[in-house]
Amino acid sequence: MRTFFLARRGLLLAAAMGLVGPVLAQAYPVKPIRLITPYAPSGTTDLLARMIGQKLTESLGQSVVVDNRGGGNTIIGTSLTAKAPADGYTIMLMAMPHVIIPLLFPTPYDPIKDFTPIAGVASNEQVLVAPPSLPANNVKELIALAKSKPGQLNFATVDSGGPGHLLMESFNNMTGAKMLQVPYKGAGPAINAILGSQVDIYLAVPGPIMGNIKSGALKALAVSGSKRMAALPDVPTFAEQGLEGFDAKTWYGVVAPAGVPRPVVDKLSTEILKIIAMPDVQQRLESLSVTPFALNADRFSSLMQSDMTRYKQIIEVNQIKVK
């Protein structure tokens, strides 16, 4: 407590001398930090939050406590973050749906204006899979098949309006295919559906279905990203197959309430980027089937804005509405 008041007195003195920025960076943090994640205490987002929280605790010398506030399609935890004091003591680890959900549902916050981007931390590329019985073995053959049977082929998604749904609608728009969405409540049911040939196509993160691809239970038609996946070296990218510009990356990042002082943002961003570069962290990310995706505050801000614009266009073009 005495340390806190001494730091506060130092800030007041610095303010009088015009040195608030440098002193803020040196003094912060002087108390524990709350790291909210707007998801239940399971899954990739929670695991990332706990890993980063532990590493920040070690590097900052203050406890970083993970606070799971799932529910309401992430709106509960995200709203809590937006309303928190803009002092750097409440931050949030979120995922790409942060910029999509407000395009589909009314939210009490603006995903851009009400938040301060801190850092990008990890990403997922996607793999397009099909049952072995589908008479298409690559993207070109899939497009030809879909065009020959308009409205007859379908694709699985884990929810309506989510990244997988919007990305496949983007695929339809880019190729002229007219495949239809079949939504499932979670990755497990979607995987079971594609394994049982109940659906024709599934665009998914590779981790949960890699074993099915390796065993031949599913065939991979394409992978997203600028290069082939190390785990699937024989599967060409979408770009290699003529579909340049099909960006299927999903990402995770850290934000804070709007108005956090820049010195605090820079300190948090620097520490998080150091954490993402650690060999043990990179190994842990690989075990979670995600890729390190270290972006500083400015680059992460640009990504959030550009992806929100991109998905808004997809939603409007396809007249997507979610009840």
Packing angle between helix 43-60 and helix 279-287, nearest 10 degrees? Answer: 170
Cis peptide leading into residue 29 (ω within 30°)? yes
Residues in the chain where the model's pLDDT stays below 50: 1-7, 11, 19
Domain boundaries, the chain: 31-123+249-317, 127-241
pLDDT tens digits along 109-120: 999 999 999 999
Which two structure tokens, joined as six digits, stand for 308? 């929100």
Q: Do domains 31-123+249-317 and 127-241 have the same CATH topology?
A: yes
**Integer Cα distance of 119 and 93 in angstroms:** 10
pLDDT at residue 24, rounded to an integer: 54
**Integer Cα distance of 123 and 292 in angstroms:** 6
CATH superfamily of 31-123+249-317: Bordetella uptake gene, domain 1 (3.40.190.150)
Strand partners, 155: 181, 201
Specify the fold of 127-241: D-Maltodextrin-Binding Protein; domain 2 (3.40.190)
pLDDT at residue 174, rounded to an integer: 94
Dihedral sign, CA of 310, 97, 241, 154? negative
pLDDT at residue 186, rounded to an integer: 86
Question: Which region, left, alpha or beta, applies to residue 149 given φ > 0 means left and ψ of -120 to 50 means alpha?
Answer: beta
Can you give the pTM of this predicted structure? Answer: 0.87
pLDDT at residue 245, rounded to an integer: 87
pLDDT at residue 231, rounded to an integer: 87
pLDDT at residue 138, rounded to an integer: 96
Could you count the other beta carbons within 10 Å of the beta carbon of residue 236? Answer: 16
pLDDT at residue 97, rounded to an integer: 95
